Amino acid sequence: MGFSAVLRDLPRLMRRISQTAGAIAAERPDCLITIDSPDFSLRVAKRVRAAAPAIPIVHYVCPSVWAWRPGRAAAMKPYVDHILCILPFEVKALTRLGGPPGTYVGHRLTQDPGVLGAAKAQSLPRDLSEDRVKTLLVLPGSRRGEVRRLIEPFGKAMSVLHQRGHRLRLMLPTVPHVADLVKTSVTRWDEKPEIITDPERKWLAFGKADAALIASGTVSLELALCGVPMVSSYKLDPIARELLQHLVTTWSALLPNLIADRALVPEFYDQYVRPENLARQLEALFADTGMRAWQRAGFAEIARRMATDRPSGEIAAEVVLGCIKKANRE
């Protein structure tokens, strides 16, 4: 939902928040579990705590307090009893920022069949000899604005690689709601990609890829867990750039870098998204280079850090039951 749409619907949204909180408080459940959507869920939680203080409240999916608006962590503490975190560094971030206690319960991608299949394919021996055709994933984003801003420099980067003697097989996984824009845009590329919209074929492509050029986003974590070396970039629209430069507090925009706590994946933003920059960084991933080994070793470490010794649901259930027992004792 865009910013203007939110403003237009604000009275209705606030009414729904009040109605939801009122219904929960009247029902008096043993526990309230809110899931993601913090702008809605946490407003509901705050109202429920005011109306029915005895109801324990657990929130699933930590808000990105570690990336922007860190004051939200401490603000949640009076009305959220526990946070179920899906990224391993979030528990320490909540403590550092004075937020509610948190428990890492695991991330769905660590058990995703597509990720596991692609990771198995990536673990097999790979011929990276200079004369071999390299398979390169190109992922320009899942929003139309992202695609419009990145599709041209990505295409030109492919041309630079071709001019520098690289033989490439380009694979471009995308999503249905931007597929038409992608198909139209790549007609101007010198090197034409294979466009993939089927999810199963996407994971097969992830398993075959030698490297990837991506728009910064969740796909970076998917690729890291699959073991695919990558280069990341992003171009913001001017309004978003002006807003975010005053709000963002994290040193990297990429989850793999944040989880590893080091700069594994090169990041290029705005005026630095130049075809020559992207092409030369990708070149370093096409052979058995130090950069390729550095990334893949880091990705293996990320997989270890994100692993859990029990199913996520079991860990989450234990936390919820603990909150209920504590509330009953009090």
In percent, how much of the chain has pLDDT > 90? 91
Is it the case that residue 242 has pLDDT exceeding 80? no
Provide the whole-model pTM: 0.92
At 237, is the pLDDT very low, low, confident or very high (cuts 50, 70, 90)? confident
Edge-to-edge strands, sheet with 57-60: 32-35, 57-60, 82-85, 102-104
In the CATH scheme, what architecture does the domain 9-106+309-329 have?
3-Layer(aba) Sandwich (3.40)
Q: Among all chains, which residue has been given the structure tokens 């055709």?
A: 133
- Is residue 34 exposed (0-12), middle (13-18) or buried (19+ Cβ within 10 Å)? buried
End-to-end Cα spacing for the chain? 41
What is the C-alpha R_g of the chain?
Answer: 22
Residues 255-277 as b/e (b if ≥16 CB within 10 A, e otherwise) read bbbbbbeeebbbbbeeeebebeb
- Quote the DSSP letter at residue 248: B
pLDDT tens, position by position, 105-133: 999 999 999 999 999 999 999 999 999 99
Query: Where would I find the H helices in 164-274?
Result: 176-185, 199-208, 219-226, 238-247, 255-260
Cα–Cα distance for residue pair 108/88, rounded to 1 Å: 13
| CA 247/CA 71 separation, integer angstroms | 11
4: confidence class by pLDDT, cuts 50, 70, 90 = low
> Is pLDDT above 90 for 330?
no
Domain borders along the chain are 9-106+309-329, 113-306
Residues 72-100, mean pLDDT to the nearest whole number: 98
pLDDT mean over 47-67: 97
Of the pLDDT bands very low, low, confident and very high (cuts 50, 70, 90), residue 89 is: very high
Assigned token pair, 277: 């920059």
Residue 31: per-residue pLDDT: 98
pLDDT score at 248: 81
Q: Which residue has the tokens 């990558």?
A: 230
Answer whether CATH 3.40.50.2000 is correct for domain 113-306: yes
Burial label, 245 (beta-carbon count in 10 A; 0-12, 13-18, 19+) = exposed
* 113-306 matches 9-106+309-329 in CATH topology: yes
pLDDT at position 240, please? Answer: 73
